[in-house]
Amino acid sequence: MAKNVGILALDIYFPPTCVQQEALEAHDGASKGKYTIGLGQDCMSFCTDVEDVISMSSTVVNSLLEKYEIDPKPLYDEKVQPTTLIPKQVGNMYTASLYAAFASLIHNKHSTLAGKRVILFSYGSGLTSTMFSLQFSEGQHPFSLSNIARVMDVAGKLKSRHEFPPEKIVEILKLMEHSMVPRSL
């Protein structure tokens, strides 16, 4: 029977800023009780421009590690570092970031993954999140982990990208914005 399965530690974090919902109802011109009764909230926490979901997650993880006296370096090196190659070089892809981390893991650790179980977790906006639990098997060619890593050619694809200066990016974004603006019928 499996041991140490389930929730082993728990912590919670709230942003240090909030707004009274009654005051927000008045500000928004909403009917009295829309937020307080309708949403069942008295006070809503919110992030300022110096905080986001990543910094909040980092804060609570660091708190857990500290409170349970866990050295994060070996955990990071073993569990996280192998998943960061593509996201570090490509940037935030939102939903696709989960799969980029998965591809990075296969790229970096394909020779040691057979028989291992991994959990992929992604949080979205609001109360949405996705979690997958996968167990690797070596598979047979052409579906072996080593061949999958070779076919993905992560290093080659990263090297083949073209780098642009920020000014060019702004120019491209403006062009895209202009071409995507709906035209009146």
pLDDT in tens, 56-87: 888 888 888 888 888 989 988 988 888 888 88
- Per-residue confidence (pLDDT) for residue 113, from 0 to 100: 94
* Residue 130 phi, psi (nearest 5): -135, 140
Give the three-state DSSP class for 118.
strand
pLDDT band of residue 9 (cuts 50, 70, 90) is low
Rg (CA), the chain: 22
Question: Using the 8-state DSSP alphabet, how is residue 165 labeled?
Answer: -
The pLDDT assigned to 85 comes to 86
Length of the chain (residues): 185
Instruction: Give the span between the Cα atoms of 66 and 178, in whole angstroms.
Output: 49
66's tokens:
């500290």
The residue that leads in pLDDT, 9 or 98, is 98
Q: How far apart are CA 123 and CA 159, in angstroms?
A: 29
Work out the average pLDDT over 30-34: 91
- Burial bucket for residue 110 (CB in 10 Å: 0-12, 13-18, 19+): buried
Higher pLDDT, 4 or 74: 74
For residue range 85-134, list pLDDT tens digits in order: 888 788 767 777 788 888 999 999 999 999 999 988 887 666 677 788 88
What percent of the chain clears pLDDT 70, i.e. is strictly above it?
A: 88
Is pTM beyond 0.75? Reply is: no
pLDDT mean across residues, the chain = 81
| Better-scored residue on pLDDT, 110 or 165 | 110
The residue ranges of every structural domain in the chain are 9-70, 71-185
Pairing outcome for strands 117-123 and 43-46: unpaired
Higher-confidence position of 175 and 7? 175
